[in-house]
Structure 1
């Protein structure tokens, strides 16, 4: 079986991305699963290797075909965007522009069929905006760059998977945006993703918006009945094992103990909170609905510890493994 080529975008170069990439590429078992290729700045990767104290050599290449994919070497399509003294731990337009261009190059390679998946190190939204790219995050940027009208964010942690109906918008805006069609399309993406992952008849739990799922109209203004119930009933009519809307507090407990294969969360914090409690170090962010596989770490740029060599690479390693597994299944 041919190992998939995974493009690793370096993220915001002032954050922990370069360090967790170099730490991850020191793991020999990763190369048994995939062929990793960094899209970034070779000089920054060398600096990160020195900071974390590993012996992985950085090997600049211009094209995918030049990469050797050998353990002990980090193949890097070197965009050479950064000044030699680029600081760690600071927001800057230069960092935001670099992060954007790493992603844009990875998308080009994916569209051309030269890579099998993208795995992203974290970016900083303030830096991205300062560079003139007003995206809320990676998910929306990737959707725009690939011309995809609608995608979903899925988070995976040990014993829990969550897909989101809405993500990077305020709570009042999220409630306004939620409607039966969007909820049903999100359930569809959850179902399809689970089937591709080898779960033939997935059990899907759908969160309510209000406490106690509205308590028969006691809480809220009938949002569950108006916005969620039609989507759940439509899926049930197709013979799918979908339950909801269910109170989020008990639903996440039941999902963690194994009653459901995936949870459909209505808004950002409803889904992110339980995932991060279950294991932020091994959490993975997967964008569902793109024409290319994309996974990411489930943490930010961590400017407070960037450049200190102490960032934990476990989420990056798990994101790479998930990307490799998904790419192998698709191929």
Structure 2
């Protein structure tokens, strides 16, 4: 079986994404092959800033030496100055994401790895953009779930980037059941877990205290859990969020579903931010992103930590192999 072929998108060209891709190209890989989708001049400039070798190859070539990187060229509109995001390059950033994702949908690639993008620069460039997760979901025409993961824990989100006052209204039986089914299916097909165990957090402190501190657990979360258990899913909850992440509890579960962004992600990032990755579950292909921003303030200085990108590639390659095996 040949190793999976992964599409690699550096992200915001003025940020640390290009230099992280250059560092990635220095590592020999037997678990996958990589093709970058982006601007060649920016990658060359990043390599020069890092004093590292970089040989850009045709997209259908095979990397054989440290510094080799096959490239599907998507030129920027204007030359890049590291540290200064230019909205004129927004269309190239989006084109790289859409082209790479389309190649995955068409079966030319087995997975997608993405670097950090700059939302403000894209919107200032005249493109309405809320996030890459949403962009990929629209393109593929499917429902998705955001999950972040490191070596300690996997945390999926029932809601993502919402104001806290809007979260309770966004949690309803249909959306919660759909989210749990997507997480369960992804753990089976992308991670090879035969009977995944998912811990479901409550929304309120102490999971509502039997309705004394909110009724969402009684009226929505618990009934959904009961219905899905009857369908064969292995779910535990609703659990109080303040104790669900204790090491003894995590040993018994394969993933945790948090009700909102800051309920679950601070714990994950504290337990291993450098190696954390961001996954989009529910797509027809595995997509894994770095779990950090563009870091414009240090771009081009050669001090950015590549750990999250390395972990993203490792995770995406494993997920792609599991999907092929299934």
The TM-score with structure 2 as length reference comes to 0.94
Against the structure 1 CA distance between its residues 190 and 111, is the aligned structure 2 distance closer, same or farther, given a 3 Å change threshold? Answer: closer
Q: Distance in 1 between matches of 2:281 and 2:92?
A: 25
Regions of 4+ moved over 3 Å: 254-257
| Equivalent residue in structure 1 for 2:109, among 110, 115, 121 | 115
The TM-score with structure 1 as length reference comes to 0.93
- Aligned residue for 2:200? 206
Q: Distance in 1 between matches of 2:248 and 2:37?
A: 36
What SS does the corresponding residue of 1:329 show, helix, strand or coil? helix
Give the CA deviation at 1:111: 2.3
Give the CA deviation at 1:192: 1.4
| Equivalent residue in structure 2 for 1:136, among 130, 134, 158 | 130
- Aligned residue for 2:71? 76
Against the structure 1 CA distance between its residues 71 and 267, is the aligned structure 2 distance closer, same or farther, given a 3 Å change threshold? Answer: farther
- Aligned residue for 2:53? 55
- Aligned residue for 1:306? 299
Q: Distance in 1 between matches of 2:322 and 2:43?
A: 30
Aligned Cα RMSD in Å? 1.6
Against the structure 1 CA distance between its residues 82 and 70, is the aligned structure 2 distance closer, same or farther, given a 3 Å change threshold? Answer: farther
Q: Distance in 2 between matches of 1:260 and 1:153?
A: 18
Q: Which runs of 5+ in 2 are unaligned?
A: none
Q: 1:255·1:262 contact (CA, 8 Å) conserved in 2?
A: no
Q: Distance in 1 between matches of 2:110 and 2:323?
A: 9
Give the CA deviation at 1:152: 0.2
Q: Which runs of 5+ in 1 are unaligned?
A: none
Q: Distance in 2 between matches of 1:209 and 1:91?
A: 38
> What are the Cα deviations for residues 267-322 of structure 1, in whole angstroms up to 9, with x where unaligned?
11122211111111110111001122211111111112111111111110110111
What SS does the corresponding residue of 2:199 show, helix, strand or coil? strand
Give the CA deviation at 1:162: 0.9
Against the structure 1 CA distance between its residues 106 and 201, is the aligned structure 2 distance closer, same or farther, given a 3 Å change threshold? Answer: same
> What are the Cα deviations for residues 104-162 of structure 1, in whole angstroms up to 9, with x where unaligned?
111221222211111000101111211232222110011112222x2100111111001
- Aligned residue for 1:101? 95
